[in-house]
Structure 1
Amino acid sequence: MEISGAFLAVILEAVLSFFLIKKENSKKNIFLILYIVTVILDLLCEYFIFNLGNRSTFLIDQYPSSFRLVKGPLLFLVGRHLLKYNFNWKNYFHFLPFFVVFICNIIVVFIGSESQSFHRFYLWIFKIYPFYWLGYLAVTLTEQIRHRNKENAFQKLFIQFLCFVMTLLVAYLICGYGRLVDRELLRIIYTFSFFVQFIFLIRLTQIDKPLPVVNLINNDINANKVTETLQEHKKNRKYKSSVLSKDYIANTNNRLIELLKNKKIYTKEDLSMDDISSMIHISKNHLSQCISEGLETTFYDLINKYRIEEFIAQINQNPDQQISELYYQCGFRSKATFYKYFKQETGINPNDYRRKILREKEFHHDY
């Protein structure tokens, strides 16, 4: 199949993916939607230049599209959004290289450039582009793996998507620079690989779709009751073959709570369920079941609850401490995770809480 056919097929698939993702109408999908739009614009530019150059790929290499410089920042921001980092004006700096190269694109393609050195500079940017793209993928993937939550299906699939794109890019670089595959065939294969990317992206936007809820208008059922019933059904299904007695569960949880309170093992940042199960000499599965059935929570929620309590106790004693240093001492590795659990427990963010403590301290000092 010739390159123009590959372009048209992938562009059509990209447009279809765009509408499928857009249909979900979720804020978290905005960067994925923009990623799809970027791919469409990039392919349309290449298709336009390909036809302008009498259906030769030579002009594509001489006038590459600047839109591809947006792909790395967009996936990076998907990862930041997933880890609950705040989006602020500094994030727009990630798009600065695109705007610079886009202006160069306009000058070279539409206005024309008589300067040979300027054109060489323009092409040099795209020679280092694969490493720019690879850098963003590596940083995003590393950050996701460092703050990995095994219970987050979206993050798991997002990591797989990043691994696929990175593997594809490395293979393309090896084949391209090593001249292992004909350049035009390599371009066709790489173009068709976007089909797999779009499958990943569509799955990512559908992975957190809520369970269908019964019609509450026609049924005298409370929404909270429905949620509780679904959760209970899920728990019963997970532990339907349970042989643990209530006394065993209660005894295990008492030993666990005693260990957490007296030893403060939750301050260990890489604390795992394996660590605790070996300390109290039970299997990991039994420990998970005891926490779920007896305490009605998850292991990580329980540990982070104790870390928040430790942080509050420390900040109450000395509100002048640095928040970033203190939450790390309490066992948190991620700022996003700390802020999430702190607000969940207290209803306010840590900075507001500290200001409140300082005001109360000043008030008591005055009186």
Structure 2
Amino acid sequence: MDRSSWVFYLVAGNGFVLIAFGVGQLLQRHKRVVNYWSFVFFEYTGIVLLLTSAVHTGIVKDNNLEYFDAPIIAFAGTLFYFYFVRLANKNYRFIWKEQWLFIPPILFAITGAILWFINTSVVDIIVMILSGTSFIWVIFCCTLLMISMIRQYKENCLDQRKRLSFLIVLTCGVVFLSMTFFIPVLARINSGPFILAEALFLLAVYFYLIRYPELLISIERESSPSQHGKSKIAGLDVKKAIDRLGQIMEQQKPYLQDDLSLPDIANMIGLSVHQLSEILNKEMGTNFKTYINGFRIADAKYILKEKPEASILDVAFACGFRSKSAFNRIFRETTGMTPTEYRRKIAEDETTQKAARSPAPDHCTQ
């Protein structure tokens, strides 16, 4: 078996794995919209890997399929934009003015279909131009995504800066993947190593997100009066709203949901998102994430003290955190120590208190 065949089987295998990942998104018991987006993303990526590995390694002897490299690349850019915008903000809704992002992939597909039936000397040149243009389109979609993400991040938030850094790396990776399509076509070289690198990168991203799921936690866009001008709580019984908020948090404990969002709480109280955000920011001197994490950390402290047998991971999940790393970081930011250090301090304090309550030995002599 030659090297091209090995590359095909390895990359095709990764393609089947990604397809399986996509199907797995639909098998989850409690599906959300993001699961359907993930299904489309993984299925498309898996199919692209199968197709490109078959064509560029010579397993499929049909050069006309190369005419569709450009629409495949272009649609990947559009899909990349919508998929990661949706992951970063679960309240994102598709707006029709964004439908123009589908126009270039459609035009590339129509052009590829026309070239399928043309057999002239200029076809190869047109294919190269289309491939280069589709590559530029992917870069444009990545840039558009970065602009959209940056608008949602606060510079003073460490957690959000980490997500932004991850998206920057991811965007650079997608640009690299586009090059794996474009360079072999332009330079007429063996595309096997490029396809292999592409497959490994996609798998690395997938497993990294499994390890650090907090990178895809919804980013809440908290508004403030200074951003929107006129106050949204004029004429509102703010004290009653704050009391209602505290009552819901104490009785219903919605903060135990790891995907809790600002709109969720606003709906429970009967306020708009802007009203609740202004109350948190202006009247209570905090923000949504800090407010919710305060309840989670309070519960975590109680569990760490009363249930010493519980693992740190179990405590994290029980209190509404999505991962141990996020729990450790927020707990340290709040208390100045890690959960393990906090539990150790509790044990030491209890030992000291017991020693203090113990009667002193009688050293008196008769």
TM-score by length of 1: 0.48
TM-score by length of 2: 0.48
